[in-house]
Amino acid sequence: MTHDSKKLYKKGQFIPEMKQESTLINGLLGKQIKLIRAPYGSTYLNSAQIKKVKEEKYRLLDWNIDSEDWRHKGQPQKIVASVKEQLDKFHKISPVILVHETEDTLKAIPGLIKAIREKGFEPMPYFEDNDFHMNFIKDAGL
C-alpha cells in the first residue's frame, strides 16, 4: 500500500500492508491473488517476514532487471536503453523486468518489447504458479 521502506520493513508494516493490498485486489478482481512483489524486492525482508509470507501462502516475486524507469523521468528511450544493456547478461535464465506504472514506461513499452525479442526472449506474464523467484536474498530454506 505504501512504498516507504522504513515504514514497511523497519516498523513491521510489510505483512499487514500485504494483506490489506491483497484484500483490495481480490475484491476488485473477484478472485484471490497470492502473487506479490515487495517494494525494493526482498532486499529488506528478514527471515521471519519471509516465513510469514510463505505461511500465508503468498508467492513473492523479485526481478533481475531494473528498467530504471523511476530514474529516467521524461526519457522513455533511456528506459529502453537501460533494459537493452542489462539483457546482454541473460543467457541461461529468464529476465524478470521491473517497471512502474508511469506514462514514460507506457511510452517505452514498444521499444522494450522490441529489445526483448531482439535478444531472443518472448514477453510473458508471470503467474502465481510459476516458480518462486527471489533474487535479492537467499531463501535460507524457509
pLDDT tens digit string along 64-76? 899 999 999 999 9
Residue 133 lies in a domain: no
Domain span at residue 33?
5-60
What's the DSSP call for residue 133?
B
Q: For residue 133, name the pLDDT band (cuts at 50, 70, 90).
A: low
Residue 83 lies in a domain: yes
Residue 71 lies in a domain: yes
pTM: 0.78
Q: For residue 125, name the pLDDT band (cuts at 50, 70, 90).
A: confident
Residue 131 lies in a domain: no
For residue 90, the model assigns a pLDDT of: 84
Size of the chain in residues: 142
Q: How far apart are CA 72 and CA 69, in angstroms?
A: 5
> Distances in Å between the alpha carbon of 54 and those of 7, 35, 48, 59, 80?
21, 11, 10, 7, 34
